[in-house]
Structure 1
Amino acid sequence: MRAVVTLALLALATAVPAQQIRPEARPVSLVLPDEDILDEPSTNADLTEVSNTPIEPPAPTDVSEQASAEPDPSVGPETNLPLPRFVSLKTDEGNVRRGPSLSHRIDWVFLRRDMPLQVIAEYGHWRRVVDREGLGGWVHYALLSGTRTVIVDDNLLPIRVRPSETAPEAAQLEAGVIARLGECNPDWCRISAGGYRGWALKSALWGVASDEIRD
């Protein structure tokens, strides 16, 4: 019998407007075995709490070098990492602001720990991110993790024991399930969720680029 990893109905909401936050609106995490938790437990984080932690200033930049070199739009000016790139939310709550500072208003609150996000811009210690629905804004970098996760886009997506459509199924994942991302070839990615592991078609996942290869 194939296992089906399901998702509580409320978990489909990934972000809500700040003015509509209610306790009952918090999404429910996947009911998974303890060993499948994607990251260490964390408290609900707000940027006001994060801002109290000491932050090291960015390393000084050679002014002559900066003047002579044109900025590369494909890498972040603060981290020199690729743009856009995927990350994940490492807290239960993440305030999403209209601009890159605590003085900007909160437009959204992400309520799903480990959800994949795409970084599209950087400014100081802030990252502009969007989710699968295209919603987003500026988030403090301390709320983000380099741990890679994906959201299942297809309902009852089969994960297979090998990267082939003729390979046996290990399980089926419902749409909206968050899974940890492993290696990827041009068409398939190895993922894990609910204690099950296998290969899924890359085109059925959000959180990985179509041309991305991972070892």
Structure 2
Amino acid sequence: MAFVVVFFAATSPVFAQSVGASGLPLPRFASLGSSKINVRVGPGQKYEVAWIFVQNGLPIEIIQEFDAWRKIRDSEGAEGWIHKTLLSGRRTALVTPWLDDAVAGTPIYARADATAPRRAILQPKVMVTVEKCETSWCEVSGRYKPDPSGDKSQNFKGWINQVALWGVYQGELVK
């Protein structure tokens, strides 16, 4: 039983948070600040490029710091290094990225209450901007383009339970 408690404490962000060289907590969430970012296998430009992010704003988890480099983890669990100037403090999240696209979707509500009127149903992997989080709910917003060929788009804003988001920790307060 002691092993289970030690393992949980070592892997839970609530218990494992420390302070990085930047003075900010580790781990922490941030987002990509550019639409083309090389993710490297080590902390420096001399290291090989492991893959390239091509979407601005995606949420990432910063898990380590070395000089001006940040070791990050994406929503699929892949890890690599990015220069800190390519990151943004803007908070974004992905809605249920662990679910299959065929899932019915996750509702967002008018208030932080599951009995409130629904504002929208968001499919897995939809990226949202995190406006704020209180207790177990986050207010999120975004833009949905139903038809890529047309210029019609819809803005949405509402409240979603934190358990449906990758980009915030359980119980984290975001202002």
Which residue is 2:63 aligned to? 120
2:37 equivalent among 63, 69, 94:
94
TM-score, length-normalised on structure 2? Answer: 0.78
Deviation at 1:214, TM superposition (A): 2.2
Return 5+ residue gaps in structure 2 as ranges. 1-16, 144-154
Q: Quote the RMSD (CA, aligned, Å).
A: 1.5
Residues of 1 paired with 2:168 and 2:115: CA distance? 23
Stretches of 4+ moved more than 3 A in 1? none
Deviation per residue, 1:16-65 (Å, 9 max, x gap): xxxxxxxxxxxxxxxxxxxxxxxxxxxxxxxxxxxxxxxxxxxxxxxxxx
Return 5+ residue gaps in structure 1 as ranges. 1-72
Residues of 2 paired with 1:163 and 1:172: CA distance? 15
Deviation at 1:101, TM superposition (A): 0.8
Deviation per residue, 1:58-117 (Å, 9 max, x gap): xxxxxxxxxxxxxxx70111x100000000001111111111111111111112210000
Percent of pairs with identical residues: 40
| Structure 1 residue identity aligned to 2:163 | S
Assess if the C-alpha contact under 8 Å between 1:157 and 1:174 holds in 2: yes
TM-score, length-normalised on structure 1? Answer: 0.64
1:137 equivalent among 80, 104, 112:
80
| Structure 2 residue identity aligned to 1:74 | S
2:125 equivalent among 176, 181, 202:
176
Pick the structure with more strand per residue.
2
| Structure 2 residue identity aligned to 1:208 | V
Q: How does 1:1-215 map to 2 (within 5 A)?
A: 74-77=18-21, 79-153=22-96, 155=103, 156-194=105-143, 195-215=155-175
Assess if the C-alpha contact under 8 Å between 1:108 and 1:136 holds in 2: no
Change (3 A) 1:136 1:111: farther
